[in-house]
Structures are given as structure tokens and as C-alpha cells.
Structure 1
């Protein structure tokens, strides 16, 4: 019980810290020289954002259409609150017991909030479509940028494959249960392919509408949050709410699980829940498509992460308290997700079908945002000539204003891998395969974010050599935007870098031998490719000019000539 009260204390600290850090960021934003120009016309604001991007060496090819609400919707949709309850909560509790919620989730929420602060500060300083690729390039040089960019692509790809595999499996199970249609593997393959195709189509042809869709999906997530609490309370009323369940380990939750009560399995449950925070930085890739991105994007990242940490604890604790009586302990991996659908039949079959459709839409939107984030990272790297076939991958459709070739490359690559994995894995081993993919995505994404944060810390703590015996002096960090945490920023970055490194290493340790060998082989091959690219780009772009931050040799006049093909 002591562990549970410690978790509650950490949760209270998260709530208080989120308000305090928001206040600090707001104060620093007001003291900065940045002006949002809200009193001016939309044209004036657009020209300010365009010239800001031109100053970094990039033309305005993508359309700036997302405002504050759309940006928040994109960031919040990247964090699967409801999808996590349906797909991840069951495996996490099956591995570590409800204690992963009672104590583990507040800890994850605390470090997720601090990570969001570091990511938001970077997004404010470098608002480009490259995200952590450009952050690492600015803080650590070209080699760091290449490593961060490729790791982000790998992690985003694993996240997309994981979500679509899980969604396709869950949809097929519910379709078969409701309609009695046993489509087998054929139905699964059709649903899986259609998920990738529809996500790519919407990203390629209607990203402007996708921004609005993400806003509505964020609202649907909050609505379902309230609705799930209401239906579970109605099911259990009148009755007791055994809050002490949140102290149970896997062994106490279900004594028949045997080895699942070990510490390794508890950490595995914690890592599964960590998957929900991996989308923290995905909103940063929309920096070239958001109005006033130096303010809008970081606030979206920060507020969505704080909302996930707070609402997630309330929702998951409520589900865990009620689930013990729901389906004989719900020890099977998909147990809670299926049970949540069945619970709605209490209010009629139509409510259950509606819940199924809404959850499928939210999970689909999460995959779509991940696909869009990965495609823009690849587009940014191709624009800097940092990937093979850069000329084609950097092309932007004049009709749809999206990097179609990069999007198709991401779709075909991830969709092909997902289909091969689905064919190779048996239905019984699919869940175990998905767990390994989650661990790989955690390790890759955490490394991708740790690289630029570590580079920023090196610059912040770098010293100037002087006369022996004199105290060392600190250099002023140049990676500061209007959204910053001032004197708290370096300490938060230090804690974040340690957390990302430690949790990423833990994810690697939890991999099975086959997955570990595959990861090692990919890292070895990636190291060779990155070193060859590094040597070939020594005299090419991207470059960092002393005194200002630039990632391209293009002049403003060259950027304007390119922009004539993409009138806003």
C-alpha cells in the first residue's frame, strides 16, 4: 500500500509541476523578443513565418494551414489515450499487474512531462519539418543529425507497424464476433493493407483536412474518456471500489501466471505503457505547416503530454479497479480491449458498435499522424541531400502540397514489413511480435531524442580554456526559442537525457535474442551508411553558418524562386 501512496504523491507532483512549468514558460515567452502579431492580418503573420523559414535556408513549399487547435489535435492524437486503454493496458497489466498503473504510470507521467519540456523547447528554437533530425544537426553536427534522423525514421516505422498490426487484429476479432464471419488470415491481410492505403491517401491528398480531423479526434478522445468512466461506474453501481488493487503485482493479480510475477515482467509492463508517450515529438514535424510555430507547436506538445499524464492515470486506474470482475481477471493480452467493447452492450448493441467504430477511428488517426511525421522527417533529410535518391524524395506535389514521394516510400516500406511479419508470424505469436516491436520503437525513439538533448547539454556546459587556475565559464546556449524554461531548462534537459538513455537501454535489455540480433545488424548497417553519407556531405549541404542557424546554402532569393511554384 505504501507503493500506491507514493504513486499518488508522484501524480500530485505531476499535476502541480505541469502548472508551474507552464507558468515559467509563459513568463519567458512574454519576456522574449518574439511577437505573435495576432493584431495583424493573416498575410502579415504568414510572411513573418515564411521569412523565418527562409532564414534557415528553406523555401515555404508546404502549406501553412494549421492553427493552435489543429496543432494541439495533432499532438494529442499522436498520444493514444483511448487506444492505449484498448490495446496496451491489457498487456501491461498482464505482465506487471495493476501496480504498473498505481506506481508505474505516475513515474512515466513525470518523465514524460519533463521530456515534453525538452522537446517543446527544441521545437520553439528550430521549427522545421525535420524535427529531431535538425535539432541534432544544430546541436551536435552532421553526424549527430544523421543518427537522430535515421533512428527517428526507424522508431516511427516500428510505431506505425505496431499500431496497424494491433488495430487490424482487434478489428478482425470484433468483426468475427459480431457478424459471425470467419475471414481468417485473408480478412486480416485485407484490413491491414487498407489501413496503410487509407492513411497514405489522406496524408497525401488531404493533409489540410487531416489537421481538422486530428482536432476532432482529440475531442473524441476526451469525450470517450468521460464516457468510459460513466459506463464503468454504472456497471459497478452500487458497489465497492477496491483502490488497493493498484498495489497488486502480476503474481497477486493472477497467481497462475507463475514467472510473470518477476521484476523483469514488471518492467516489461512499464515499457508497454511507455509506448503511449512516444508520440511526444510528432507534432514538431508540422513546424512548416503551422502558423506561428515557435509558440503554437511547443504549447501543443507540452499541453498534450500533460493531459495524457493526468487523464491517463485517472482512466487507467478506473479501468483496472473495475476490470478484475469483468472477464475473470483479464490475464489474456487482448482481454481489456475486448471487454471494454462488450461492456457497452449494457446500454444496447448500438452503443457497443459506436464505441468500436470510434476506437478504430482514433487508432487509425494515431497511425496516420505517425505516418505523416515519418514522411516529413524523410522529406527534410532528402531536402538536405542526406539520404539516397534525395532529389525524388524531396519533391513536393504542387497540387497537394505534400511530400508525396517520401510519403509513398514510408508507406510501402512499413506496409511491406508489416505484411511480411504478419505472414511469417502465427496468430498465436502475433502479440509477442508486437511487444518486441514496441520495445524496438522505444529504444529507437528515445535514442533519437537523446542525441540532440545531449548535444544541447554539451553546448550549455562547454568551457572556454583560459589561464590555469581561473574558473571555467559557460557558453551561452544558442538553441533557445521564445518557449523556454530559463534557469530550469538545463536541469530538465539533464534529467530527460538520463531518462531517455536509461529507459532506451532497458528496452534493449528486454528484447528477445532474435530481435536483439536483428537490431544489432541494423545498427551495424546503419553505421556504415551514415559514415559514408557523412564523408560525401563534407562539402555539401547542410551547413551551419557561424552567428546564425542555417541548414542550407540557399539564399532568400533562391527560396523565393522555388516558392513561386507553391503559391499560398
Structure 2
């Protein structure tokens, strides 16, 4: 017979059990009417962030950089270390997402968590987030275009891959992704579900091929092999730069946060989506990283190739199999770009809803037919294309786009986490870290600052126009524009997230 449960124990157990609030009631309590359709289940919310992180796209895009900045030891053990740090960032963001499940996500929570100058904190967070998201959509589209050209050149050797053609292919990709996001949220949700299985099945196919087909693999001790081809004499500095491979991959998991207003039981499903996306990506990514490392044959030849991972596939598996696997990689990149644009659109919608963008009334309008912010979709696509256009004549311009993506996003992540860290009256949601919340937040902020500095330091020597790291300039331009605009007009009209009234008042404004 089980022991009787005392009333005191019952009350204590109830006190610690999370309570899932009604989605609409939570939104109304934050001062917003419901304008978007809630069609995203827990899996759909997870799928957004998992697809944006996209280990296949991230690893294949940055693997060559890691081969020259640290080599196998940093590619493998750096992945483990950085993934652990990103889990701290994700856990802190997830706790905040549970407390403030809105499309405004980072900028909204920054405005609510700030003790003073709420409008300014919210303003800078929103513009960093906007710049980072647009940069991510642009960078993913351009990366897909680059790999598409690599595939075409393998299939038809007479084809000449050029920067101009890469820009044109990127424009077509952005057009198709915008059209997909223009239709119903349900279509996007279906595509994101497909993308998860594409990533997982594609991962298995690539890993199994790299394990079973090559006649030779590197010895286990190869994971301790260190390489410093950065041009810098300091090996520690070269190794630290190699950590950027993992940092490049783990961006965009705020997508689950931005989809909160379209997610069922968002106070628990949005934070769980963030954590699951990071955790599963960390494990699956390590498997893919090991498979690529042990399949390397000619290290120097692959490291100096235009697309090192593609060269590894050709050396280990032959051209035919390499082309097939390259199609999987391209598909993963296209899915990644689609999810990135979806998240980007929701951030624009929410930021405009609070009057923080030029033409805000236009961009936060919702289609009466599809219940999606269609105009915001096309703004995201147009801004992404503008960032890609300099690639027509400049190879280094695209580096700045990637830098805007990573530095902009992670600094936007850091602001609300930092504000939560110093706020003693923070009211957590159903998903929370309990007494460890501040400790986790402190580690998260420290890591973001370290990784952001790494992204802005020189990454190759000698430093020339072709190797110069334009990240500080790109970040500076964004911050200067935001600052000038803030002091010129915005500080008098933008006070942070807007409340449309009392819960009963905004409930009457619901459009669905």
C-alpha cells in the first residue's frame, strides 16, 4: 500500500509544477490581440529552429575554415565545447521565451526586462535582431547558390561558376522562398516537418556513406591532429578562431521564440523547441563532424580546395556519389533559408506592430485570406537581396553579410539575457531554470561576449583587402544607423513594446 500524501506535500508539489496558461489569455495579458493563426504544434516549433541551425548546411559551409584554423582537434572537441556553451545561451533564452511568448521575442523581452531606458534597450535589440536575421536569410541563400554552382560544374564541366551567377541564383531562391511564405502558415509548417526528416535522413545517408564506402579511414588518433594555416604564428589564436565553425552553425534558434504567437501552448512548447533544436543538433552534428574528419584522405589538398567538404566527398567516395550527397546538402540549405525567412518575417511583423520600422502600419498588416504577414515576407526577401547584390563584384562583401548574421543575432540574444541576469524581480513562466537561472544567464552572456570578439578579430594573415575581417565595420554601420535614427526621431515616439489595452479590451480586437 502506498504511503498517504499529506496536504502540505500536496501543496508543495503543486507549487513547483508548471502551469500552462491559455495561449490567448497570455497574449492578451501582454497587451496584444491575436492576429496570427496557431497551427504550430510542439514538433513544428522545434522544426523551425532545428532547420535554421541546420547542421548539414552549417558544417559543410564552414568545415574548410576549421581545417585551416585548428584542424581535426578543434573541429571535434571545439564542437563539443561550443555546443555546451550554446546550450547555456539557449536555456536562458528558453526561460525568457516561456515568460514572454510573443513574435517580438528578443526585443519585446528586452523592453520588459529593462529597469530603465526600456525604449532604448528594446530599440537596439530589435535592430540587431533584424540585421542578424536578414543577414542569415541572405547568407543561407548565397551558400545554397554556391553549392548549386558546384553541383552544376561537376555535372557539366564546361559550366563556369561566377559571382554574378551566384547572385542571380540567390535571387531566384529568395523569390521561391518568399512565395512559399506568402501562402498559408500550414504550408510552411508542412515544409518544416519535411525539412526535419530531410536533415535526419540526409545525415544518416551521408554518415553511412562516409563510414561504409571509403577503402581507407584515418586512425582514431587523427582527432588530436592540430593544424594552423591561418598565417598567425600563435597556435592558441588559430585554435580560438577554429571555434567559430560551431558558432557559425548554431545561429537562428530564436526562430522558436519568434513563432510563439503561432504555436499551441507556447509557454512550454517554444522553450522546449529551442532546447531540443540545440541538443539534437549538437549530437547529430558531432556524428557528421567525425564522419567527415575520418574520411579525409589528402588533408592539404582538401584544405586548399574551393569547397573542402565537396573535395573530401570526391576523394573518399568518387564523383558520382559525391554529386548525390551534394544534392542532400543543397536541399538542406534551401530548407534552412525557408525557415530563416519565416522567422525573419515574424520579427519584422512584431517590430512593426510596435511602430519601430519605417512604414510600420504597412509591414505588420496581415492578409485576410492567409492570416500571414505577407508584406513583411517580401520586405525580408528584398532586404536579403540587397545584402547579396554586392557579391556581384566583391568576394569580401559576402563575409560582411555572414558577420552581420552571427554577431547581430548573438548580441541580440545577449541583451535580454543580460537584463534578466540583473533583474531580481523576474517572473518566470512555466518552463524555467529555477535557482540556476542567474548562473546559466551569466555563463551565456560571458560566452556571447567572447565569441563576438572572436568574430571581429582578424581571421587570416597577412591582412589584405581580400582577407580583412569586415565584421567590425558591418556591425558599426548597423549601430551607427540605429543610433542616429534613435536620437533624431525614434526616442520621442518609441518607448518599447506597445500595449493595446487591458486584456478584455485587446481580446475584443482579436481578428481570428
Instruction: Answer whether TM exceeds 0.5 for this pair.
Output: yes
Q: Verify the 8 A CA contact 2:364 2:373 in the aligned structure 1.
A: yes
> In structure 2, how many angstroms separate the alpha carbons of the residues matched to 1:260 and 1:323?
25
Select the residue among 520, 530, 533 that pairs with 2:486.
530
For 2:181, the equivalent position in structure 1 comes to 203
> In structure 2, how many angstroms separate the alpha carbons of the residues matched to 1:403 and 1:200?
11
For 1:165, the equivalent position in structure 2 comes to 142
Unpaired runs of at least 5, structure 1: 1-26, 37-47, 461-475, 543-550
Matched, 1:453 2:417: yes
Q: How does 1:388-467 map to 2 (within 5 A)?
A: 388-419=358-389, 421-425=390-394, 430=395, 432-460=396-424
Matched, 1:361 2:334: no
CA-CA distance at 1:34 after TM superposition: 1.2
**Residues 32, 533 of structure 1: CA spacing in aligned structure 2 closer, same or farther, 3 A cutoff?**
farther
CA-CA distance at 1:482 after TM superposition: 0.6
Select the residue among 83, 101, 117 that pairs with 1:109.
83
Which whole-Å deviations, capped at 9, do the CAs of 1:139-167 have from their partners, x for residues lacking one? 11221111111001111122222211121
**Residues 515, 450 of structure 1: CA spacing in aligned structure 2 closer, same or farther, 3 A cutoff?**
closer
**Residues 133, 533 of structure 1: CA spacing in aligned structure 2 closer, same or farther, 3 A cutoff?**
farther
Q: Alignment partner of 1:278: what SS?
A: coil
Q: How does 1:320-359 map to 2 (within 5 A)?
A: 320-325=293-298, 328-340=301-313, 345=318, 349=320, 352-359=322-329
For 2:426, the equivalent position in structure 1 comes to 477
Select the residue among 87, 96, 101 that pairs with 1:127.
101
CA-CA distance at 1:226 after TM superposition: 1.9
Matched, 1:226 2:226: no
**Residues 29, 341 of structure 1: CA spacing in aligned structure 2 closer, same or farther, 3 A cutoff?**
farther
Q: Verify the 8 A CA contact 1:72 1:215 in the aligned structure 2.
A: no
Aligned residues: 489
Q: Alignment partner of 2:261: what SS?
A: coil
CA-CA distance at 1:516 after TM superposition: 3.0
Deviates more, 1:193-202 or 1:510-519: 510-519
> In structure 1, how many angstroms separate the alpha carbons of the residues matched to 2:306 and 2:236?
18
CA-CA distance at 1:445 after TM superposition: 1.4
Q: How does the TM-score come out when normalised to structure 1?
A: 0.80
CA-CA distance at 1:83 after TM superposition: 1.1
**Residues 219, 344 of structure 1: CA spacing in aligned structure 2 closer, same or farther, 3 A cutoff?**
farther
> In structure 2, how many angstroms separate the alpha carbons of the residues matched to 1:510 and 1:496?
24
> In structure 2, how many angstroms separate the alpha carbons of the residues matched to 1:274 and 1:226?
23
Which whole-Å deviations, capped at 9, do the CAs of 1:408-463 have from their partners, x for residues lacking one? 112111112202x22121xxxx3x54444333322211211111111111112xxx
> In structure 2, how many angstroms separate the alpha carbons of the residues matched to 1:284 and 1:533?
29
Alignment root-mean-square deviation, CA: 2.6
Which whole-Å deviations, capped at 9, do the CAs of 1:72-127 have from their partners, x for residues lacking one? 21121011211123212122213331222232111101101111101111111111
For 2:449, the equivalent position in structure 1 comes to 501
Which whole-Å deviations, capped at 9, do the CAs of 1:492-540 have from their partners, x for residues lacking one? 01110111122112212237365533432332221121334552236x6
Matched, 1:371 2:341: yes
Deviates more, 1:497-506 or 1:282-291: 497-506
CA-CA distance at 1:391 after TM superposition: 1.0
**Residues 164, 264 of structure 1: CA spacing in aligned structure 2 closer, same or farther, 3 A cutoff?**
farther
**Residues 129, 338 of structure 1: CA spacing in aligned structure 2 closer, same or farther, 3 A cutoff?**
farther
Unpaired runs of at least 5, structure 2: 1-11, 460-467
> In structure 2, how many angstroms separate the alpha carbons of the residues matched to 1:514 and 1:447?
17
> In structure 1, how many angstroms separate the alpha carbons of the residues matched to 2:435 and 2:474?
42
For 2:472, the equivalent position in structure 1 comes to 516
